[in-house]
Structure 1
């Protein structure tokens, strides 16, 4: 329980640094609920963490009725990561990198955060939670499932924000997918061996 709590906090910090320091300065998207929340932030200046909670409600309702263990395992991850994302907002202008480097570093940090939480059977909820359901039902690696969901969200961002956003976001979700897969592959190997 303590290890899971530490994983949630450390994972949330990685996720928050990735989003605030590397993604938001260049309007780069992640996928899933985080990506949708970033789109609402870029277009309407809404708080990213708050929007993650709001947009995750339908998936958490599904989890409550169909997958109670996921509901309980992910609720803390959702609330803590959303709070830390909004708390870390002042870090957005702390460093400046080339946009491409920023998309890569942001992807690594986001992937580390998501992967760390998933290794301890928790997540930020949202489509990560949905991807975990799919991965458990199909034995697919959760990072691969997340990659496909993320691609759809990033496509929306390319339409609503810019082509540059689309290109940098594709790089980011590719890196997030690889990093998450690396972080979760040992757990899936142990589970299915």
Structure 2
């Protein structure tokens, strides 16, 4: 019982850390340069353009509808974890944008670092079995039922949404958006498959006769 409680606390902290890092990357490096961080942002822009829905309401509607899919296809625990991640990410975006600013003041350097940090944050969330919200939920569902790394469907779906958004709104955004998605999803794939135990067992200082107690 105590061991299970410890695992639950660790998972909760990891979800909050991943979501906070994701929000930091958006608030400091990506959003100030108008770089879309994912497909949800692209769909939000499209809904606003087509139906004149306020951006904040469109984003909320999108994430809320995705949570319904999370409950149905994944689990209530995954949906609650995703809801926590979305909430922490939103708070982190606002706080980060208010408290910090990029040290580079160069959109390409911001794009590079922001994409890496975004990928780490999303990768941490997916390792805990929760989504970063929006299209990440769809990617996690595909990963569960098709036994594939969620980074692959995440990149494909977001890429298609970016192309559609660029076709409808402005082609100039697609280059940075696709670069951001390529870098971040590569990081997501690496984080998702990373094994701390495998690295630990290969450390040279371990005695040959070592056995896990």
The equivalent of 1:144 in structure 2 is 152
Q: Which has the higher helix share?
A: 1
Normalised to the residue count of structure 2, the TM-score between the two structures is 0.74
Q: Which has the larger radius of gyration?
A: 2
Q: How many residues align?
A: 186
Q: Hey, what does 1:23 align to over in structure 2? A: 30
Alignment partner of 1:159 is 2:170: no
1:32 aligns with 2:26: no
> Which stretches in structure 2 are left out of the alignment for 5+ residues?
1-7, 199-213
Unmatched segments (≥5 aa) in structure 1: none
The whole-number CA distance in structure 2 between the counterparts of 1:143 and 1:56 is 19
| Structure-to-structure mapping, 1:89-100, within 5 angstroms | 89-91=97-99, 93-100=101-108
**Deviation string for 1:78-122 (max 9, x for gaps)?**
222223223333257443432222212111111111001111112
After superposing the two structures, state which structure 1 stretch, 77-86 or 31-40, moved more.
31-40
Deviations 1:52-99 (A, max 9, x none): 433111111223334334323322112222232233332574434322
Deviates more, 1:155-164 or 1:14-23: 155-164
TM-score, length-scaled by structure 1: 0.81
Tell me: higher relative CO, structure 1 or 2? Use CA pairs within 8 A at least 6 residues apart. 1
